Amino acid sequence: MRIQAFSALALLLASPGVARAADPPEAAEPVPYWVDFQAGRVELDPELMKLELSRKVSIVVDRYRLTSERLTLSRTRRGVEIEGEGRVAFCPCENAPISFGFQKAIVAPPTDLFVQGATVRVGDVPVLWTPILWLRSPDRLGLLPPRLAWRAEEGLSAGTGVHVPIGGKRGPTLSALDVSAAGYLRGGVDVETRLSTPGTSTRVRWDHQRDSLLALDAHGAGAGRDGAAAALRIDAIRGARGLAGTLELEPVSRRWDHARASLSGASEHVVGALGGVAVAERGAAMDAGVAAGPVAALAFGGALGAGSSADTFVEASTLRERGQASVTLLVHHASVAAATNLGPLWVSAQLDEHTVFESREREASASAFAGTRLMASAPLARAFGDGTDPLVHRVEPFLDAGVRVAERRGQSADVFRALEAAPTGRLALGAAGVSSALGRDGAREALEVELRGGALGDLDAERVEPAAGAELAADSEWVGARVESAARLDSDRELYQSGRLRFGRADALHVEGHVTGGLDDAPLGARTLLSDHFAGSVRPYLERAGWSAGARLGVPWTRQLASEVGTEADVSSARLLAWRAALGYRHPCGCFSLLGRTGQRIGREGLDVDVTLDLMP
């Protein structure tokens, strides 16, 4: 006998706070979930609100499937109590690979399952017994999946954690705190907390084995209805094991820890902010000095008329490190832009200014940049096909001219070294080129190419040097690319290139690669020919001459099994910096998922391996 949405069971389960049986979700009245069961024999006691099922009993409640030869269901304040020997799986499919034997279970809304005397089985083989097993929905307190890891230098570790919901329901409104802890077999502990809210994310990791590591990554922002806003960004790694104990390559490659918090308010054309900032050397000891202090910023901006705008920004901060003199930094930026049509031509002009002034005890330094840019182009476009989203081809020849001046006086303090202005000198630019784009606006697929050639003039040395550049951007389901390259034609030592390329769909077989670098770091670098770099940046483009590259290959072997392999390398020194590999499996019915990862990076001897089993993916 198979009974679905059985009226007697509906009566048994229908009570405030307890999920009740109902028709499937397409029924007129929405319900939290529905109960589907089958049994060879059904006996109902309406007075005791009890239901007895026997002969090949199968009950499906939300994602759980309970099977037995004989079960008794009764309604209680805690939910629906199920008594009898049976098994429960985490998916509604038959013959689940992982299941739990039970003597008694309670189903409570919305999807909680409380099992007493649970025996973990892989197939028909019992592997573990626990007196209590409590499965919970994401908006309820519960345990995190177990994790097993082998660290290259620390040895074997194992652990789990607890999930603490703070507010909201499942989905984007849920706020939760995850606290996990793992112990090393050789002695030591690795504790990690993750706090997530709709507007913030905070991760804190403390790892101790002889020495300690403390890593903090927090970011988030929130705004009120009155225009007030708060923002937070912290990126820091501290401790004697800070760099050696961090598994990923990218975080340890950064030189500085940064922290910034601010409160801001805005009107129609003005934004003001107050807050604090801190800077420290990455991987320094726990008690090492931190340069910290207040920061204030004010920005103005708005339209000057049709096709024109202006904005200006000023920020002042004072940092002080224990036992050191304070350092005051004043940053100012202003920009004016205008554009208009002159017949078939589109003409635009922009003026940028950027100044950094630094003051400390008996010393001061300053750097300033000013540049102007004028561009004229003749955009030509043709549509192919009818409809609301035709294929459009745009061809736009252009002329580009500009002058920039950059000067620097004095030497910056160590904590501000990364803020020094672009290379100094006076530079003039003249270039001609053409850009072309093909795509559909609605399909979000396009191919863009830009080629330019011209001359860079060093006004101080009275020297003119030819240069050329190219940019490519492609965005489609099967191909993605972003490449820019520039070279001085009279030099075989000056080349700048940066690019990323993907072949294949991101959710299918695909390969990705990236390369960044240059052959020289001359002040009149060929990269200034490219439109995005001529205006100058307060941060250098590259640390020094050289090339770095990386690649990633993703292979979905089946709908349930996928793997990924990635590498990072210093091409100039022919040195492998890091490699990583991952293999993930998800059962077709969603009974469980298994993720295994391994890898190695420079600075750590041996392999890092970890395995995570999730019984409710």
Per-residue H/E/C for 373-388: EEEEECCEEEEECCCC
Q: What is the pLDDT of residue 540?
A: 52
User: Residue 543: pLDDT band by 50, 70, 90 thresholds?
Assistant: low
How many Cα neighbours within 13 Å face the side chain of 124?
0
The whole-angstrom separation of Cα 518 and Cα 155 is 40
Higher pLDDT, 441 or 463: 463
Can you tell me the mean pLDDT for 579-605? 90
The whole-angstrom separation of Cα 74 and Cα 48 is 8
CATH number at residue 90: 2.60.450
Buried b (16+ CB within 10 A) or exposed e, 521-543: beebbbbbbbbebbbbeeeebbe
- Cα–Cα distances (Å) from 576 to 497, 548, 568, 600, 604, in that order, read 20, 10, 6, 10, 13
User: Residue 232: pLDDT band by 50, 70, 90 thresholds?
Assistant: very high
Q: What is the pLDDT of residue 124?
A: 81
Under DSSP, is residue 494 helix (H, G, I), strand (E, B) or coil?
A: coil
The whole-angstrom separation of Cα 9 and Cα 3 is 9
In a domain, 17, yes or no: yes
In a domain, 119, yes or no: yes
Can you tell me the mean pLDDT for 363-391? 87
Among 597, 536, 274, 515, which Cα is nearest to 405's? 536
The whole-angstrom separation of Cα 533 and Cα 34 is 60
In a domain, 126, yes or no: yes
Q: What DSSP letter does each residue of 81-131 carry, written as one string?
A: EEEEEEEEESSSSSS-SEEEEEEEEEEETTTEEEEEEEEEEETTEEEEEEE
Q: What is the pLDDT of residue 575?
A: 93
Contacts of 490 (CB under 8 A, 6+ apart): 465, 466
Residue carrying the six token digits 């401790």: 239
Q: Provide the domain limits for residue 6.
A: 2-135
Question: Is the N-terminal amide bond of 110 cis, ω within 30° of 0?
Answer: yes
Q: Is the pLDDT of residue 418 over 50?
A: no
In a domain, 590, yes or no: no
Average pLDDT, the chain: 83
Q: Which range among 48-62, 276-290, 331-345 shows the weakest confidence by mean pLDDT?
A: 48-62
The whole-angstrom separation of Cα 333 and Cα 371 is 12
Q: Is the pLDDT of residue 553 over 80?
A: yes
Can you tell me the mean pLDDT for 346-350? 94
Q: Which range among 15-19, 394-398, 593-597 shows the weakest confidence by mean pLDDT?
A: 15-19
Can you tell me the mean pLDDT for 374-402? 90
Q: What DSSP letter does each residue of 347-359 carry, written as one string?
A: EEEEEEEEEEEEE
Q: What is the pLDDT of residue 27?
A: 36
Q: What is the pLDDT of residue 3?
A: 38
Contacts of 612 (CB under 8 A, 6+ apart): 145, 146, 147, 148, 594, 595, 596
Q: Which range among 171-180, 348-357, 395-404, 515-524 shows the weakest confidence by mean pLDDT?
A: 515-524
Q: Is 118 left (phi over 0), alpha (psi -120 to 50) or beta?
A: beta
Q: Which range among 8-22, 140-154, 221-235, 407-421 shows the weakest confidence by mean pLDDT?
A: 8-22
Q: Is the pLDDT of residue 268 over 70?
A: yes
Buried b (16+ CB within 10 A) or exposed e, 569-606: beeeeeeebbbbbbbbebbebbbbbbbbbbbbbeebee
Higher pLDDT, 110 or 428: 428
- Cα–Cα distances (Å) from 567 to 289, 323, 483, 550, in that order, read 35, 43, 20, 5
Q: Answer yes or no: are the C-beta atoms of 439 and 453 closer than 8 Å.
A: no
Can you tell me the mean pLDDT for 125-147? 78
Percentage of residues in the chain with pLDDT exceeding 90?
38
Q: How many separate domains does the chain show?
A: 1
Burial (CB count within 10 angstroms: exposed 0-12, middle 13-18, buried 19+), residue 305: exposed
In a domain, 14, yes or no: yes
Under DSSP, is residue 416 helix (H, G, I), strand (E, B) or coil?
A: helix
End-to-end CA, the chain? 32
Higher pLDDT, 148 or 361: 148
The whole-angstrom separation of Cα 34 and Cα 13 is 10
Q: Answer yes or no: are the C-beta atoms of 56 and 69 closer than 8 Å.
A: yes
User: Residue 204: pLDDT band by 50, 70, 90 thresholds?
Assistant: very high
* 532 φ/ψ angles, rounded to the nearest 5 degrees: -80, -10
Contacts of 517 (CB under 8 A, 6+ apart): 496, 497, 498, 542, 545, 546, 547, 548, 571, 572
Q: Residue 305 forms beta bridges with which residues?
A: 308
Burial (CB count within 10 angstroms: exposed 0-12, middle 13-18, buried 19+), residue 216: middle
Can you tell me the mean pLDDT for 277-303? 92
Q: Which range among 191-200, 242-251, 587-596 shows the weakest confidence by mean pLDDT?
A: 587-596
Q: Answer yes or no: are the C-beta atoms of 350 and 429 closer than 8 Å.
A: no
Percentage of residues in the chain with pLDDT exceeding 70?
87
How many Cα neighbours within 13 Å face the side chain of 159?
18
Higher pLDDT, 569 or 46: 569
Can you tell me the mean pLDDT for 86-96? 79
Tell me the residue type at 210: R
Give the length of the chain: 617
Q: Residue 581 forms beta bridges with which residues?
A: 565, 598
Q: What is the pLDDT of residue 525?
A: 64
Per-residue pLDDT tens over the stretch 21-49? 333 334 334 344 556 778 888 887 777 67
Top-confidence range, 33-37, 56-60, 100-104, 219-223: 219-223
The alpha-carbon radius of gyration of the chain (Å, integer) is 32
Under DSSP, is residue 249 helix (H, G, I), strand (E, B) or coil?
A: helix
The whole-angstrom separation of Cα 421 and Cα 329 is 13
Q: Which range among 26-30, 177-181, 366-370, 604-608 shows the weakest confidence by mean pLDDT?
A: 26-30
Per-residue pLDDT tens over the stretch 4-22? 333 334 434 433 333 333 3
Q: Is the pLDDT of residue 364 over 80?
A: yes
Q: What is the pLDDT of residue 421?
A: 44
Contacts of 171 (CB under 8 A, 6+ apart): none
Q: What is the pLDDT of residue 532?
A: 64
Tell me the residue type at 498: S
Sign of CA dihedral 277, 281, 286, 289: negative
Higher pLDDT, 580 or 8: 580
User: Residue 479: pLDDT band by 50, 70, 90 thresholds?
Assistant: very high
Can you tell me the mean pLDDT for 110-116? 73
Q: What is the pLDDT of residue 535?
A: 61
Q: What is the pLDDT of residue 522?
A: 52
- Cβ neighbour number for residue 157 with a 10 Å cutoff: 22
Higher pLDDT, 550 or 4: 550
Tokens of 130: 């626990």
Residue carrying the six token digits 């060879």: 40
User: Residue 260: pLDDT band by 50, 70, 90 thresholds?
Assistant: very high
Q: Is the pLDDT of residue 134 over 90?
A: no
Tokens of 70: 């004989």
In a domain, 190, yes or no: no
